[in-house]
Amino acid sequence: MITVSELNEKIKAILEATFMHIVVQGEVGSATYHSSGHLYFTLKDEKSSIKCVMWRSNVAKLKFKIEPGEHIVIDGSIGVYSPRGEYQIIAVAIEPYGKGALAVAFEQLKKKLEAKGYFEQSRKKPLPKFPKKIAVVTALNAAALQDILKVAKKRWPLCEFVIVDTLVQGESASGQIAKAIKYADGLGADIILATRGGGSQEDLWAFNEEVVADAIFNAKTPVVSAVGHEVDFLISDFVADLRAPTPSAAIELILPDKNEYLYMLDELEQRYNGVIEQKISQKEQELKHLKQRLLTLSPKERLEFYLREFASVKKSLDEIIKHKLQLLESSIEPLKTRFENNINLILRKKEANLKLLQEQLELNNPKNRIKEGFAEVTKDGKRINICQVAKGDELKLTNEKCSAKVLVIER
């Protein structure tokens, strides 16, 4: 006869000796990450379940998070807890069933960060067109760094590069990369370039860690992620403000091409020279036109213009007068003849009238009209009829030989 404790110890020895190394697949029923760092969960299939535990040292090596309902494969052994007579699987490594742990971890972190808004296009910062200073977060001895500096010198030598040395692979690399990004953020650079050359998924994994994503997201300086080759997509690529397929391509995206701008400047110079020459020619024509207008509108020019107009009018008038005179000269003789004839006719008429008047005068002359014993009666120098006199009138009697004043005494 044996005790319960002895039985449990015998069972423990048998189970642990029999199942020193096992690989078991199943679905996660429940999972608890303890504050101590240990992971407690159950593994089940359609008919039964078994308790499992993973100690803290191995939990730290897990690349993904164990979640209920996930199909996993456990590599471990059977352990027995004698005081309660319970057995469980002690997991050393866990892998997702049918796919790699890194792939699952990548998708889990990507989904988490996307829900937090780390990938939002609206929060991505624009890159300056002509950066003056770039902080490169990478390993100092990396071949990619030399490629970057070589391309940069050829493309845009005016930019200053500050190298922030850090590990880019290994277990502690993610923490160092995050610190390097935070340090670079305080250097006053225009851009932070987080980069490394190609490698396996494990080699590049440091750029898939959440701590690196947080550092990129919180950086005030625009961050460019250029990790691995063109086919490699990492968490840092999604969080960064710009993703470049390779380190060399990152420089081509970040820096302008000096040859392109020199060619552009040549084109602009030719274009501006053409425009300036055209403007100068246009202004010369305008100046010539204004000068002509000024000469036309000047007092001297206007005076000369009016003098020319006056001379022209005078010449025309002289010709008209000359022509008129010629016409008059040709008609003056007939006019003269007509004038003389008219004068002679008028004179003859006047002479005839004069003769007639003289004859009438002779007939009306008192001297010729008074007969013997007759006298002319006048009053106040006017000849009157004798019948017109009145008593008391003073009259004058005149004949051809004498005159006498008389007073009418009676009529």
pLDDT digits (tens, 9 = 90+) for 305-324: 778 888 888 888 888 888 88
Distance, first Cα to last Cα, the chain: 227
Q: Which tens digit of pLDDT belongs to each residue from 248-280?
A: 999 999 999 988 888 888 888 889 988 898 999
User: Whose CA is closest to 240, among 250, 231, 248, 229?
Assistant: 250
Return d(Cα 393, Cα 398) in angstroms, integer. 16
Residue 75: burial class (beta carbons within 10 Å; 0-12, 13-18, 19+): middle
Equal CATH topology for 4-106 and 129-256 = no
Q: Tell me the CATH number for domain 4-106.
A: 2.40.50.140
Average pLDDT value for the chain: 86
C-alpha span between 201 and 61 (Å, rounded): 16
- What is the predicted pLDDT for the residue at 371? 60
C-alpha pair distances (Å), 95 with each of 16, 25, 70, 91: 22, 9, 10, 11
- Quote the DSSP letter at residue 355: H
Q: Which residue has the higher pLDDT, 218 or 100?
A: 218
Task: Determine whether domain 129-256 maps to CATH 3.40.50.2300.
Answer: yes
What per-residue confidence (pLDDT) applies to 194? Answer: 96
Tell me which amino acid residue 375 is: A
Residues 164-173 have pLDDT tens digits of 999 999 889 9
Task: Say what the pLDDT of residue 98 is.
Answer: 67
Tokens standing for residue 37: 């760092």
Cα maximum dimension of the chain: 234
Determine the length of the chain: 411
Domain residue spans in the chain? Answer: 4-106, 129-256, 264-327, 369-407
Of residues 136 and 388, the one with the higher pLDDT is 136
Please report, as a single letter, which amino acid is at residue 357.
L
- What predicted TM-score, i.e. pTM, was given to this entire model? 0.53
What is the pLDDT at residue 315?
A: 86
